[in-house]
Every structure is written in C-alpha cells, then in structure tokens.
C-alpha cells in the first residue's frame, strides 16, 4: 500500500515543518493578529466537516442510517464527560445494536 | 497532571493503530506516522479520507490543513524556547494540543519545561499505543456489524467539542459542516473536507 506510505511521508514532513516554524524561524516575532484569528478557526471547521461527512456521506450521496444513532450516543457520552476512547466505543456499540434491531 | 492524559492518549493511539490496520495500512506505516506526525486528528483524517475513496492529494491536504493550527501554536510558545536551532526544532515536535494546554500559564506565558516533559510523555504514550494497536492483530469480524463506521464521526466529534470555545468557533463548525454536506454529492471524495476549511474566513469578521 504505497499510497499510505506517501501520505505518511508528506503529512509527517509537513507537520514537523508547521510545528517547527515558530520556534525555529520566527523566534520571538508573532503573526499578524487577523491571520491567527483565521487559523484558529481552521481546526473546528475541518473537524465539523469530518463529523458531517463521516456520519452522513456514502460515496457521492448523503444517507441517513444507523451511524446517526452512534453519533447521538457519542454526543451523550461527551456531555457526560466520558473519555475519548469510551465515546468511540459507545458510538460503535450503539450503531451495532441499532443494526441488530432494525 | 500529564499522567491521566498520557493514559487517554495511549488508548487513542491503540485505536489509531487498530483502525489503520483495518484500512489495510499494515503495521509499520501507522507506527512511523505516529512517530513523525504526532497529531491524532490529522492522522485519523488521512486514513479516513483515503478509506472513503478520496485521492492521495485530498487526504494530504486535509491532514495538513488540520495541522495548520500548529503554526500559530508554535509561534505562541516560540519566545520561551532557548538553545540552538536544532534543539528548538526537536523540542517543537513535542508541542501538541494537550502539552500546549497543560503548559499555558496565562497571559500568553508558557512553561517550557512542563511543555517538553508532558510532550515527551504523550509522545511515548501515542507511539506505544499505536504500536500496540497496529501489532495487536486484525479485526476479524465485519467492521459494519461492529459499528466501526460510526467510530470515526464519534472520534471527530470528540476532537471538535474542546475546539468550540466561543460563538465564532461554533459558527465556523456549523458552516464547515454545511459546506461539506452540500458538496458531498457533487465533488470527489475528500474535496468537501478541504472546501470546508474556507469557513475559517469567518475569523476576518469584525469581533
């Protein structure tokens, strides 16, 4: 699976560069404030997109299926401040259970 | 303070190793990725975009956009890093969301010893957890019957929640999710995720 290895190499090199940028290149200087406001919002925007596509996407269509039961269960687990691994297990279990019942 | 986090990160690493293995990555690639990238959300995004039929370029772009936050995060701690460039380069790799959050002393000050100590602990936990998951064996049953396809959205939701610190972040997430859903039927896999990044331009709106 060479695609995986290319992704590993490029994402690895890119991430290491992004992390090192401030401490190595910029030293004490800082980015323009407006630019940091924009960059701060990248992570929430992309993570929300991943949630939506992973929960509803199927090839090139949107499908409502048992994954939403799992996502709702994950929401409840998060609200009860469950640790991340438990949240994931709860989501998978709820989806598996919904598939058994339906 | 870093110890309970390290346990959680190790468990998270195990799930990365297991899921990467289930996506046909073998055991070495997930371990090397955890050792070099050391950023959970981008790593999960890479396997999920590739796993849902996205192109290599889309997977890499989505992962790097997710990690773009490490530029400002790195800059925020830069004034407190000392020593030669090569040592700052190595120490900067230990900056992750958790170690950064732990070492914040408020008013833009950071405790670098705390940052490096907790970062090292989390690094060992993350790579060790990944190795455990990747070497631990194959998932034999049907992933759908086990509900594993719901594991990804749940995981990204768990990563998203702590990022929503204000209304602006909430608006960016809702807009990002909407862009991605609207584009899913018309754009190639992976592209809707990258396009959702445009929601960050809400940061330019006057506060």
Q: Tally the domains of chain B.
A: 1
End-to-end CA distance of chain A: 36
Contact at CB, B32 and A12, closer than 8 angstroms: yes
ipTM of the predicted structure? Answer: 0.86
Average pLDDT over every residue of B3-18:
82
Instruction: Please report the pLDDT score of residue B207 as a whole number.
Output: 66
* Nearest-Cα residue of chain B relative to residue A8: B33
Question: Buried b vs exposed e over B149-165: b needs ≥16 C-beta within 10 Å?
Answer: bbbbbbbbbbbbbebbe
Closest CA to B65 of B187, B170, B172, B204: B172
Residue B65 lies in a domain: yes
User: Per-domain residue ranges for chain A?
Assistant: 1-30
Q: Which domain holds residue B21?
A: 2-144
Residue B195 lies in a domain: no
Residue B149 lies in a domain: no
Average pLDDT over every residue of B53-57:
91
Instruction: Please report the pLDDT score of residue A26 as a whole number.
Output: 67
Q: How far is CA A23 from the centre of its chain?
A: 26
Residue B50 lies in a domain: yes
Residue B121 lies in a domain: yes
Rg of chain A, C-alpha, whole Å? 19
Average pLDDT over every residue of A72-80:
96
Question: Do A26 and B54 contact (CB within 8 A), yes or no?
Answer: no
How many beta carbons lie within 10 A of that of residue A81, not counting itself?
8
Q: How many inter-chain contacts (A to B, CB under 8 Å) are there?
A: 329
How confident is the prediction for chain B on average, in pLDDT? 87
* Nearest-Cα residue of chain A relative to residue B37: A12
What would the pLDDT profile of B141-154 be if each residue is shown by its tens digit? 566 777 878 887 89
Contact at CB, B154 and A15, closer than 8 angstroms: no
Residue B204 lies in a domain: no
d(CA B141, CA A92): 13
Lowest mean pLDDT among B4-13, B19-28, B80-89: B4-13
Q: B76 CB near a chain A CB, below 8 Å?
A: yes
Residues of A in contact with B145 (CB under 8 A): 96, 99
Closest Cβ opposite residue A42 in set B48, B69, B159: B69
């Amino acid at each position: 699976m060479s695609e995986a290895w290319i992704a590993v190499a490029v994402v690895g090199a890119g991430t290491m560069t992004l992390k090192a940028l401030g401490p190595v290149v910029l030293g004490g200087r800082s980015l323009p404030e407006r630019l940091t406001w924009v960059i701060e919002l990248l992570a929430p925007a992309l993570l929300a997109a991943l949630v939506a596509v992973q929960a509803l996407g199927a090839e090139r269509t949107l499908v409502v299926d048992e994954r939403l039961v799992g996502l709702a269960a994950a929401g409840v687990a998060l609200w009860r401040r469950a640790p991340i691994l438990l949240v994931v297990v709860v989501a998978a279990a709820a989806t598996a259970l919904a598939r058994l019942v339906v | 303070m870093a110890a309970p986090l390290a346990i959680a990160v190790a468990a998270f690493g195990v799930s990365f190793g297991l899921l990467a293995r289930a996506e046909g990555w073998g055991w070495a690639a997930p371990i090397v990725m955890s050792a070099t990238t050391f950023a959970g959300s981008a790593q999960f995004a890479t396997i999920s975009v590739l796993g849902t039929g996205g192109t290599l370029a889309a997977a890499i772009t989505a992962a790097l956009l997710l990690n773009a936050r490490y530029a400002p995060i790195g800059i925020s701690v830069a004034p407190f890093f000392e020593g030669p460039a090569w040592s700052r380069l190595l120490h900067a790799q230990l900056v992750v969301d958790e170690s950064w959050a732990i070492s914040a002393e408020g008013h833009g000050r950071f405790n670098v010893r705390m940052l490096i100590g907790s970062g090292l602990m989390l690094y060992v936990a993350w790579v060790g957890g990944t190795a455990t998951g990747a070497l631990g064996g194959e998932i034999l049953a049907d992933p759908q019957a086990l509900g594993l396809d719901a594991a990804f959205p749940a995981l990204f939701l768990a990563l998203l929640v702590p990022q929503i610190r204000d209304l602006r972040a909430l608006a960016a997430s809702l807009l990002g999710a909407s862009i991605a859903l609207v584009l899913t039927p018309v754009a190639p896999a992976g592209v809707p995720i990258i396009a959702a990044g445009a929601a960050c331009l809400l940061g330019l709106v006057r506060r």
